[in-house]
Chains A and B, each alone.
Chain A
Amino acid sequence: MTARPSTAAVRQIGPATGFFLVFFVVPLAILFAMSFWTQDGFERIPGFDLANYLKATTSRLYPAVLLRTILVGFVTAAIVVPVAYALAWLMRFTFERRGRLILGVVLISLFSGYLVRIYAWRTILGTEGLLNAALLQLGLISEPITALIFSPWAVMIVLVGLLLPLAVLPIWSAMTNVGRDHVEGARDLGATGLRLHRTIILPMVLPGVGTAFALSFVLAAGDFVVPTMVGGAQGGTMVGNLIANEFRGSGADWPMGAALAFVIMGLLVLVHLVTTRLLRVVTRW
């Protein structure tokens, strides 16, 4: 006999499920169907053609951008997660009494607009920006460092800055379930330093770390505003930019944009699954 969900449970999850179905699943299904269509001038021709997927994976342009996108997303997440982990540790154990205050300070940047934060980073990293001004004042450099902004590095720095508050939340939340007695017990048994984190803490907060990684990775790889705003002549194109271009202006090709969106979605899921599995393996050593 199969257990049937209670009416109360249906009532509770019904609205969210309905919203998710109507505003996410259905549009996604439409977009997926469209990815097999073709574009002829201003018209989209319904059909089933794999040409867009073939082009997305074999042309000169798209694979290179896809690779770059995955790389930027992965490196950004690989930087964000350890920093967020360390911050969560500090908030949970080192400065336990002021943990929530620190968390508030970290999260306060989320109260400003996304674009405002990007422009703030421009102000910090610019040739005439705060960082260069400070370094000049300190006499550490004689001329402004122009590579701080409008470079691939600038994209990563800004993405790390933007995503850090989001990554701290799930890790800190998971870490609140780790008691001080767990840490002290582990230390008493000889697990200190890196071993303490790898064998005791990390397995306990792994869901939080996994969520933080997935959030950072997907958001970084999917971003197209930061590369445009601070990537400059050398670092300004990610797959999000290509997808955006396919959906607007003359030369727009919605089916191609849809196919690109599903290719990058598949790649992101794949990388996430592999990374999560690797993380599990590492914590079992």
Chain B
Amino acid sequence: MDDRIRQLLNARLNADVTRRQLLQGLGGMAAITVVGAGGVRAASRPGSAAAARGHQQTLGGPLNFLGYEGEEAPNVAADFLASNGITMQPSYVGAADEALTRFQTGGRGQMDLMAANKDFQRSVLDAGIEFMMPLDPARIPNAAGLWPAFRVAPWVVRDGVQYTVPLIWGDEPCIYDPAKWPEGPPAKYTDFADPKWAGELVWLDDPFTNIWLYGQSLGYADPSKITREQLDAVVQAMLASKPNVVAYGASLGDMVDIMVRGEASMGIGGWAGQLTIAREKGKEFAVKSPEIDGTFYWSDAYAIALDAPNLDNAYAFIDFMMSPEANAQIATELGSACTIEAAFDILDAETQAMFPYDVVRAEDGGVLNTQVVIPPQEDEGDIVGAGAWSEAWQEFKLS
């Protein structure tokens, strides 16, 4: 039953899982083409940097991973793990906060490596919860190659201390059938209320994606922090579009499946990796964000749990994954954008063009670092929390 929950009923966070599952297999092949098997092998120099700095690393034995499926890099890191005698012991989460639940319910001292999304990690850091350990940058020398945006990101660094290491990132554009809509989506999400979209729309079944996008369309400065009245206004705006919605995709994979089957021609809250899935099924789609409203950005990052029993393995693994070759390969495999600057040059032109890399070139991190998608966990004064968003989404679906 857990598998069904994880795989089928996912919102934005869970959709990440599906994205990975769907692309992992074919991505492994593609990545080998992009990077070359030898490239990644050459990049695995376990512990060399740390050893040079005098740290005595003891590699080998287990490495416990808890995070999104695929981000333990079974294909990319296979040689690295084998050559260092490390046994990856992965457990997967459907949503990022499951790792925190595990940690707080007896998992402390048994968890090593974790992977989660930026908004969750940011909220954990904001809340000051004991969970992720402060990292020693000297033990992850390859992370120096991160794009500028990721070096100062608020979900990476807090009070000058680094807690996470970004692995991949991306955005959520509209995916559409260009044969039917040559000009792509309208300029604003609220324009989807136009009757010309009747029977054409598929949305991701996720409160955070849709409420955020329509909040953006209504012009809220920070759509993740809205009042009850603003949330009601967002729901009203979404209801205006609802008559045109055919279905809500249970995941990003399901969403594109609905489009491939011809049930819908415009997906809202999509992902560039869906193009690959569609192509595998013989359909050519395109992605583009509404010109005025734009979209939001996500990123997943590694972290190490406090009291991790296999610390050396965790550090060495993260450092390996930060090598340009490994980062390019994992980005390709997971249909995402790379976080290491030098990895970009290794990607093929098509993969490079899938994501707007200008976002991560900004020295201050730009919109990727200022943007928050997931609302506060609890109400904060007039600002409504995630629970209210979830209920509003369910009420919207029932209306």
B residues 95-129 touching A (CB-CB < 8 Å): 95-98, 100-101, 104, 119-120, 123-124, 127, 129
Q: In the bound complex, how far is the Cα of B263 from the Cα of A127, in angstroms?
A: 6
Q: In the bound complex, how far is the Cα of B8 from the Cα of A60, in angstroms?
A: 26
> A283 interface residue, CB < 8 Å from B?
no
Q: Which residues of B contact A39 (CB under 8 A)?
A: 387
Q: Judging by beta carbons under 8 Å apart, are A251 and B389 in contact?
A: yes
Q: In the bound complex, how far is the Cα of B204 from the Cα of A249, in angstroms?
A: 15
Q: Which residues of A contact B263 (CB under 8 A)?
A: 126-127, 149-150
Tell me the smallest distance from the CB of B106 to a CB of chain A, in Å.
14
Closest chain A residue to B263, Cβ basis: A127
29 contacts between A and B (CB under 8 A): A41-B127, A42-B97, A42-B104, A42-B127, A61-B391, A64-B398, A115-B4, A146-B199, A224-B9, A232-B246, A232-B247, A233-B247, A233-B248, A233-B397, A236-B205, A236-B247, A237-B397, A241-B9, A242-B394, A245-B9, A245-B390, A245-B394, A248-B5, A248-B13, A249-B94, A249-B390, A250-B377, A251-B386, A251-B389
Q: Judging by beta carbons under 8 Å apart, are B398 and A228 in contact?
A: no
> A122 interface residue, CB < 8 Å from B?
yes
> B229 interface residue, CB < 8 Å from A?
no
Q: Which residues of B contact A114 (CB under 8 A)?
A: 4
A residues 113-159 touching B (CB-CB < 8 Å): 114-115, 122-123, 126-128, 146, 149-150
Q: Count chain B CB atoms within 10 A of each CB in A65, A241, A244 and give the residue with the most.
A: A244
Contact of A41 among B242, B377, B391 (CB under 8 A): B377
> A188 interface residue, CB < 8 Å from B?
no
Tell me the smallest distance from the CB of B337 to a CB of chain A, in Å.
23
Q: Judging by beta carbons under 8 Å apart, are B97 and A225 in contact?
A: no
> B65 interface residue, CB < 8 Å from A?
no
> A166 interface residue, CB < 8 Å from B?
no
Closest chain A residue to B94, Cβ basis: A248
Q: In the bound complex, how far is the Cα of B330 from the Cα of A126, in angstroms?
A: 35
Say what secondary structure dominates the interface of chain B.
Answer: helix
Q: Which residues of B contact A115 (CB under 8 A)?
A: 4, 8
Q: Judging by beta carbons under 8 Å apart, are B9 and A225 in contact?
A: yes
Q: Mark A241-268, 1 if CB is under 8 A from B, else 0.
A: 1101101111111000000000000000
Q: In the bound complex, how far is the Cα of B127 from the Cα of A194, in angstroms?
A: 68
Count contacts on A: residues with CB < 8 A to the other chain: 40
Tell me the smallest distance from the CB of A269 to a CB of chain B, in Å.
20
> B374 interface residue, CB < 8 Å from A?
yes
A residues 153-212 touching B (CB-CB < 8 Å): none
Closest chain B residue to A41, Cβ basis: B377
Q: Mark B223-250, 1 if CB is under 8 A from A, else 0.
A: 0000000000000000000100111101
Q: In the bound complex, how far is the Cα of B374 from the Cα of A251, in angstroms?
A: 9
> B11 interface residue, CB < 8 Å from A?
yes
> B90 interface residue, CB < 8 Å from A?
no
Contact of A229 among B97, B120, B250, B397 (CB under 8 A): B250
Q: Judging by beta carbons under 8 Å apart, are B386 and A250 in contact?
A: yes
> B261 interface residue, CB < 8 Å from A?
yes
Q: Judging by beta carbons under 8 Å apart, are A233 and B242 in contact?
A: yes
Q: Which residues of B contact A236 (CB under 8 A)?
A: 205, 247-248, 397
> B262 interface residue, CB < 8 Å from A?
yes
Q: Mark B1-41, 1 if CB is under 8 A from A, else 0.
A: 00011001101111000000000000000000000000000
